[in-house]
């Protein structure tokens, strides 16, 4: 009897897909699109109802239509989505958009369909099997021009084969800073996008981010191996945002400042704090003073977080007007009328601060962005750096620990919390350490996998003995311990997961399980580690970069001159020495708290 490795090879033969599409004349449709200027304006008006482009939008659209690879760094609220949606409707093939959040995908797809654009679809875990199959059939029939996909979908070889069978004119990555190890977000599934791009050979690639320093931009391009690439950007400054900083010696001073701010600010707002405990205490403080407030952090259940977010977005009497949150309340917070964002705790970087503050005023109306600065905040971030920064001894310890985990076909499945317990390292240090070990060529991290998964067979219509046997083996062991199953049948864990994704897509089964394990393949053993010098590892560069980032946010907080100028310089923009933004408390006294409101306000 065949083992499951051979059976899976048999199943692969069932996954053939049609050839690349051609025009009626038989010619490949992936060639360049020639679109005249007036035709662009006509398409803009017909599809989106706009008579003209915003500054910078036409440049992006024309670059994409010209087949250029681009990285567009445009501020929040600038209309970045139109910059790929319009070319998607014009180009001959399919535009693939990788988006990190299901809610964002749904909002954009619903919005386009509301405008009468039906050649749009999304593929993610929110779809039922019937909905998923319907969209795949539409894709095969060439009825889709714009396809939104969660990054996790690219782990399926069959799905990549399907995409490769249609002409991919444009490959878009939204929130591209997720790719950078120096960015302010991290999503392991984004690590697979480089391989997806190499497999699909899209005509052009477009990367979009709202806030990225020159260093982060270069890291994105290096990680994705995109060359050449045009970098297109506009100033990060948003004139409707008004920035202020107030110094507070302790929490009591911060609470007094918070009360003063809320007497002056109207509408809904967010109070960002650095610790979960602080968000709960702030929410309680606000509730006792009659505010409709709640807290949001990663320690709450998914259901609780969803409820808080929905109440914050609601406009009825049950809605919230203030959320106290950690940075877990992040991407996807697309409430347009947030009138203020207050930072109870100084962020670790100016980039993080501007990203979070930028969630205010997305409707273009005036909004306030306030930072409570406490000198002790620097000590907190210095501690974070110390906890996250690896050294050669730490990396060797981490590598040796990874070697102790059992391997199947060269792969190890490792829980981050188990590494934390065994190494006594914090999660951030483990993530940074694994990144360094990968850069040095000692391992490769793939995506996250479940340790155990439950399987329910949903169809008995398997077409051959190989499929039936594979499904029977899975169902008889449910819940399946992934590592044991792979070891028993000599399967690569990544290969097993690819097959599960494909079989679920085809309606044969449903599987579920938390993806809590890192999938790691060791490439070199720890005996070779001694030959790597500290200089090669770049630890000093890491420490210097992190401390420089703290220096920048402290400099911003203590600035005696225009704060806007410091922000522009940080993001690589050239500004005159006497530049004044007019939108901060250093340029305009109307953005300071009234002197008679509190003795705790610092006026310099």
Q: What is the 3-state secondary structure (H, E, C) of 143-211?
A: CCCEEEECHHHHHCHHHHHHHHCCCEEEEEECCHHHHCCCCCCCCHHHHHHHHHHHHHCCCEEEEEECC
Place of tokens 């917070």: 333
Range from 21-25, 114-118, 298-302, 560-564 that averages highest in pLDDT: 560-564
- Using alpha carbons, select from 499, 458, 502 the residue that is nearest to residue 136: 502
Q: What is the pLDDT of residue 577?
A: 85
Give 21's pLDDT tier (boundaries 50, 70, 90): very low
Q: How far is it, in rounded angstroms, from Cα 68 to Cα 171? A: 11
Q: How far is it, in rounded angstroms, from Cα 201 to Cα 195? A: 10
Q: What is the pLDDT of residue 16?
A: 42
Give 487's pLDDT tier (boundaries 50, 70, 90): confident
Q: How far is it, in rounded angstroms, from Cα 135 to Cα 120? A: 9
- Segment 302-312, tens digit of pLDDT: 789 889 988 99
- Give the H/E segment covering residue 72: strand 70-73
Work out the average pLDDT over 215-225.
87
Q: Is pLDDT of 5 > 60?
A: no
Q: What is the pLDDT of residue 33?
A: 45
Locate 438 and state its tokens.
């990968």
Q: How far is it, in rounded angstroms, from Cα 563 to Cα 592? A: 13
Q: Are 100 and 187 in contact (CB under 8 A)?
A: yes
Q: How far is it, in rounded angstroms, from Cα 143 to Cα 141? A: 5
Q: What is the pLDDT of residue 560?
A: 92
Q: What is the pLDDT of residue 179?
A: 80
- Using alpha carbons, select from 158, 169, 223 the residue that is nearest to residue 192: 223
Q: DSSP states of 248-299 as a string?
A: -SSHHHHHHHHHHHHHH--SEEEEE-SSHHHHHHHHHHHHHTT--EEEE-TT
Q: Are 156 and 501 in contact (CB under 8 A)?
A: yes
* pLDDT top residue among 32 and 425: 425
* pLDDT top residue among 340 and 152: 340
CATH topology of domain 390-450+514-558: Arc Repressor Mutant, subunit A (1.10.10)
CA-CA distances (angstroms) from residue 550 to 146, 385, 565? 41, 10, 17
Q: What is the 3-state secondary structure (H, E, C) of 527-552?
A: HHHHHCCHHHHCHHHHHHHHHHHHHH
- Segment 286-331, tens digit of pLDDT: 999 999 999 999 888 878 988 998 899 888 778 899 999 998 887 6
Q: Is pLDDT of 518 > 90?
A: no
Q: How far is it, in rounded angstroms, from Cα 312 to Cα 319? A: 6
Number of Cβ within a 10 Å radius of residue 35: 18
Q: How far is it, in rounded angstroms, from Cα 306 to Cα 304? A: 5
Instruction: Report the percentage of the chain scoring pLDDT > 90.
Output: 36
Locate 578 and state its tokens.
């006497």
Give 18's pLDDT tier (boundaries 50, 70, 90): very low
| Domain at 29-233, CATH from 3.40.50.300, 3.30.750.210, 3.40.120.10, 2.60.120.260 | 3.40.50.300
* pLDDT top residue among 362 and 339: 339
**Picking from 32-46, 102-116, 408-422, 424-438, which range would have the lowest pLDDT averaged per residue?**
32-46
Q: How far is it, in rounded angstroms, from Cα 90 to Cα 32? A: 11
Non-local CB neighbours of 244 within 8 Å, separated by 6+ positions:
368, 369, 370, 371, 584, 585, 591, 592, 593
Judge if 29-233 and 241-374+560-591 fold alike in CATH terms.
Answer: yes
Non-local CB neighbours of 399 within 8 Å, separated by 6+ positions:
437, 442, 443, 526, 529
DSSP conformational letter for 372: E
DSSP conformational letter for 110: H
Q: Is pLDDT of 69 > 80?
A: yes
- Segment 250-264, tens digit of pLDDT: 999 999 999 999 999
Q: What is the pLDDT of residue 331?
A: 67
**Cα dihedral angle (428, 340, 176, 114), rounded to 10 degrees?**
140
Q: What is the pLDDT of residue 462?
A: 61
Q: Is pLDDT of 489 > 60?
A: yes
Range from 63-67, 515-519, 538-542 that averages highest in pLDDT: 63-67
- Segment 152-204, tens digit of pLDDT: 778 777 788 888 889 899 999 988 887 876 655 556 667 678 888 988 999 99
Give 559's pLDDT tier (boundaries 50, 70, 90): very high
- Segment 562-591, tens digit of pLDDT: 999 999 999 988 888 889 999 999 999 888
Domains of the chain: which residue ranges? 29-233, 241-374+560-591, 390-450+514-558, 453-512
Range from 26-30, 104-108, 534-538, 546-550 that averages highest in pLDDT: 546-550
Q: Is pLDDT of 507 > 60?
A: yes
Q: Is pLDDT of 22 > 70?
A: no
In terms of Cβ atoms closer than 10 Å to its own Cβ (0-12, 13-18, 19+), residue 93 is buried
Angle at Cα 55 formed by Cα 53 and Cα 57, nearest 5°? 60
Q: How far is it, in rounded angstroms, from Cα 190 to Cα 99? A: 10
Q: Is pLDDT of 242 > 60?
A: yes
Architecture of domain 241-374+560-591 in this structure: 3-Layer(aba) Sandwich (3.40)
**Picking from 234-243, 273-282, 410-419, 525-534, which range would have the lowest pLDDT averaged per residue?**
525-534
Pairing of strands 168-173, 509-512: unpaired
DSSP conformational letter for 236: S
Q: Is the dihedral of CA 478, 187, 104, 301 positive or negative?
A: positive
Locate 439 and state its tokens.
């850069």
């Amino acid at each position: 009897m065949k083992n499951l490795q051979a059976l899976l090879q048999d199943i692969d033969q069932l996954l053939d897909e049609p050839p690349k599409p051609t025009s009626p004349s038989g010619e490949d449709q992936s060639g360049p699109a020639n679109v005249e200027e007036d035709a662009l304006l006509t398409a803009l008006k017909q599809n989106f109802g706009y008579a003209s482009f915003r500054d910078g939008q036409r440049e992006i659209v024309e670059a994409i239509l010209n087949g250029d690879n681009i990285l567009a760094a445009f501020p929040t609220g600038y209309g970045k989505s139109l910059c790929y949606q319009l070319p998607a409707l014009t180009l001959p093939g399919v535009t693939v958009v990788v988006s990190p959040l299901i809610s964002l995908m749904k909002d954009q797809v619903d919005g386009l369909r509301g405008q009468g654009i039906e050649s749009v679809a999304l593929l993610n875990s929110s779809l039922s099997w019937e909905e998923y199959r319907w969209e795949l059939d539409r894709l095969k029939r060439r009825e889709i021009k714009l396809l939104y996909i969660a990054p996790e979908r690219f782990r399926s070889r069959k799905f990549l084969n399907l995409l490769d069978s249609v002409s991919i004119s444009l490959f878009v990555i939204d929130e591209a800073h997720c790719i950078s190890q120096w960015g302010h977000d991290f999503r392991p599934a984004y690590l697979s996008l480089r391989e997806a791009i190499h497999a699909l050979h899209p005509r052009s690639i477009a990367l979009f981010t709202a806030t990225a320093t020159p260093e982060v931009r270069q890291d994105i391009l290096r990680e994705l191996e995109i060359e050449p690439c045009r970098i297109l950007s506009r100033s990060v400054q948003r004139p409707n945002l008004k920035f202020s900083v107030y110094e507070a010696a302790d929490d009591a001073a911060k609470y007094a400042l918070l009360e003063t701010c809320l007497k002056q600010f109207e509408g809904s707002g967010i109070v960002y704090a650095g610790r979960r405990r602080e968000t709960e205490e702030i929410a309680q403080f606000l509730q006792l003073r009659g505010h409709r407030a709640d807290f949001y952090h990663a320690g709450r259940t998914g259901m609780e977080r969803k409820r808080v977010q929905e109440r914050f977005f609601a406009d009825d009497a049950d809605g919230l007007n203030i959320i106290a949150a950690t940075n877990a309340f992040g991407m996807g917070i697309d409430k347009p009328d947030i009138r203020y964002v207050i930072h109870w705790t100084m962020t670790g970087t100016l980039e993080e601060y501007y990203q979070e503050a930028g969630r205010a005023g997305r409707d273009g109306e005036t909004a306030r962005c306030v930072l409570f600065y406490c000198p002790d905040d620097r000590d907190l971030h210095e501690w974070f750096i110390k906890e996250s920064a690896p050294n050669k001894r730490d990396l060797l310890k981490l590598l040796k620990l990874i070697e102790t985990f059992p391997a199947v076909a060269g792969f190890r499945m490792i829980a981050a919390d188990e590494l934390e317990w065994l190494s006594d390292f914090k999660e951030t240090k483990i993530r940074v350490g694994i990144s360094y070990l990968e850069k040095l060529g000692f391992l490769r991290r793939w995506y996250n996998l479940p340790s155990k998964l439950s399987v329910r067979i949903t169809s008995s219509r398997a077409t051959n003995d190989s499929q039936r046997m594979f499904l029977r083996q899975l169902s008889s062991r449910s819940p399946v311990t992934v590592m044991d199953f792979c070891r028993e049948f000599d399967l690569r864990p990544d290969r097993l997961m690819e097959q599960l994704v494909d079989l679920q897509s085809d309606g044969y089964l449903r599987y579920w399980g938390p993806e809590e394990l890192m999938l790691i393949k060791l490439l070199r053993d720890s005996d070779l580690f001694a030959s790597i010098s500290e200089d090669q590892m770049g630890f000093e560069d890491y420490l210097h970069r992190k401390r420089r980032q703290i220096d920048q946010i402290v400099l911003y907080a203590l600035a005696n001159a225009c704060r806007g100028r410091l922000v522009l310089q940080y993001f690589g923009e050239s500004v005159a020495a006497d530049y004044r933004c007019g939108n901060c408390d250093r340029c305009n006294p109307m953005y300071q708290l009234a002197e008679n409101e509190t003795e705790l306000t610092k006026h310099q």
